[in-house]
């Protein structure tokens, strides 16, 4: 790989991963506005489940792309990059999932 690619690709991938994680929260909020998937008594549950599925896909894409961006970094050795990638995937994924869950709750509360 070229030096330019090794320096710029991780930054671009990390920005894309952050955008995917933000999209996951926005889709979860929209799912909450569409219907209550936990109780099923409010709104259109099928549409809410559709948005939930899209939100989960965006969350997994963001966690995976972010982990790949850490693996492509040129600076530390591979074992350190793998540790950073694993930490991003596990802790970042869990944090984004909690934020997305809260966004869905806010969507239900604000739309119903």
**DSSP letters along 37-68, please?**
TTT--SB-HHHHHHHHHHHHHHHHHHHHHHHH
Residue 60: exposed, middle, or buried by beta-carbon count in 10 A (0-12, 13-18, 19+)? middle
Q: Which residues have CB under 8 Å from 43's CB, separation 6+?
A: 33, 34, 35, 36, 111, 112
13 has a pLDDT exceeding 80: yes
Digit-coded pLDDT (tens) for 14-42 = 999 999 999 999 999 999 999 877 777 78
Instruction: Give the integer Cα–Cα distance in Å for 60 and 2.
Output: 28
Query: Is there a contact between 31 and 75 (Cβ–Cβ < 8 Å)?
Result: no
Q: What are phi and psi of 35, to 5 degrees?
A: 175, 165
- Global pTM reads 0.88
109 has a pLDDT exceeding 80: yes
Q: How confident is the model at residue 62 (pLDDT cuts 50, 70, 90)?
A: very high
Instruction: State the residue for tokens 């926005």.
Output: 26
């Amino acid at each position: 790989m070229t030096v330019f690619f090794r320096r710029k690709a991780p930054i671009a991938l990390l920005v894309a991963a952050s955008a995917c994680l933000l999209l996951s929260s926005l889709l979860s909020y929209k799912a909450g506005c569409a219907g209550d998937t936990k109780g099923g008594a409010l709104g259109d549950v099928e549409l809410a489940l559709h948005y939930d599925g899209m939100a989960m896909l965006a969350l997994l894409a963001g966690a995976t792309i972010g982990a790949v961006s850490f693996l492509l970094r040129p600076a530390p050795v591979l074992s350190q990059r793998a540790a950073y990638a694993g930490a991003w995937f596990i802790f970042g994924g869990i944090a984004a999932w909690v934020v997305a869950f809260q966004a869905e709750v806010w969507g239900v509360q604000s739309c119903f």
